[in-house]
């Protein structure tokens, strides 16, 4: 037995191909890159590993194909101390993958192909073993909404907090939003959800307030400006970005989400959990990401 807090992640897994280039290509432009490398990815996978690194026991539910990409992804999850016993291996289905281009400034653009992530059986996320002792569930919009709803209902029945990273943006059904305890969005997703343009911490606070009528707890990450969190009944949390030497922003949001969930599962206060996640994301953007061996 373990006393570690349990976090469940129902989410996406992608084999990422990372390309280093001087800048992102414009429409119709071919850019000569410097190098490329494979990387473990998918918002679900990245968030699961981040939560485990932050001290949680993490159980993962999702799917990969029966291919080399899938085997790479499962190995990376295991190396990240994530329980993969509920990850389906689907025959005749390609694993999820993405191509991401990193520019000289550390910014990136990416294209994902979901593959097996779209083939998860909603019944697979309701097994009692997944939810035994679970305190927090992490979801993302890279998964079909039917999967997210099934998982959120199971989490609620188990008494777990439902955290949703609404990325990438898409309209969410009322049936789903009613199940969300903690909503985490970046500046772009916040604007898409509530119409408030976010270019500063003050803007992030306005966006959080605009969404607080629909969600009990809202967190808006504002990139280089910092992060704002608003929980009903508590004072606004507004934290500036920590000064670091930027290497790459790729995956920073996932590190934030995973660390936040681990903090909440551990019993840290909301403000302390946001602070820990802010520190973890700052460390991540200042280090060169490493691929599992």
Look at the block and give the residue holding tokens 């998860």: 120
Assess contact for 11 and 147: CB atoms under 8 A: no
- Is residue 181 flagged as an active site residue? no
How many Cβ atoms from other residues are within 10 Å of residue 128's Cβ? 9
From residue 279, alpha-carbon distances to 24, 34, 244 in Å are 28, 30, 10
Catalytic residue among 67, 83, 181, 254: 254
- In this structure, the dihedral spanned by the alpha carbons of residues 99, 101, 102 and 108, taken in order and rounded to 10 degrees, is -90
State phi, psi for 223 to the nearest 5 degrees: 55, -125
Looking at the DSSP bridge assignments, the partners of residue 60 are 9
Catalytic residues: 254
């Amino acid at each position: 037995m373990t006393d570690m807090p349990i976090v469940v992640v129902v989410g996406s897994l992608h084999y990422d191909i990372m390309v280093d280039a001087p800048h992102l290509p414009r429409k119709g432009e071919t850019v000569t890159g410097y190098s490329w490398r494979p990387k473990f990815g998918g918002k679900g996978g990245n968030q699961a590993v981040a939560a485990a690194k932050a001290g949680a026991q993490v159980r993962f539910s999702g799917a990969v194909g029966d291919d080399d990409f899938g085997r790479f992804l499962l190995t990376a999850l295991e190396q990240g101390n994530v329980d993969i016993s509920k990850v389906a291996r689907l025959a005749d289905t390609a694993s999820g993958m993405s191509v991401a281009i990193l520019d000289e400034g550390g910014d990136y653009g990416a294209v994902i192909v979901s593959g097996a992530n779209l083939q998860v059986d909603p019944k697979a996320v309701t097994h009692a073993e997944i939810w035994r002792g679970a305190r927090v569930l992490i979801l993302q919009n890279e998964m079909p909404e039917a999967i997210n709803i099934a998982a959120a209902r199971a989490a609620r029945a188990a008494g777990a907090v439902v955290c949703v990273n609404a990325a990438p943006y898409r309209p969410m059904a009322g049936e789903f939003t009613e199940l969300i305890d903690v909503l985490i969005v970046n500046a772009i997703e916040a604007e898409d959800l509530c119409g408030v343009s976010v270019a500063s911490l003050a803007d992030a606070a306005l966006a959080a307030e605009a969404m607080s009528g629909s969600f009990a707890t809202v967190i808006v990450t504002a990139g280089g400006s910092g992060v704002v969190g608003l929980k009903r009944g508590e004072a606004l949390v507004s934290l500036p970005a920590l000064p670091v030497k930027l290497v790459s922003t790729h995956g920073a949001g996932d590190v934030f989400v995973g660390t936040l969930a681990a903090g909440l599962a551990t019993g840290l206060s909301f403000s302390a959990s946001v602070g820990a996640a802010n520190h973890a994301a700052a460390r991540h953007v200042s280090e060169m990401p490493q691929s599992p061996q």
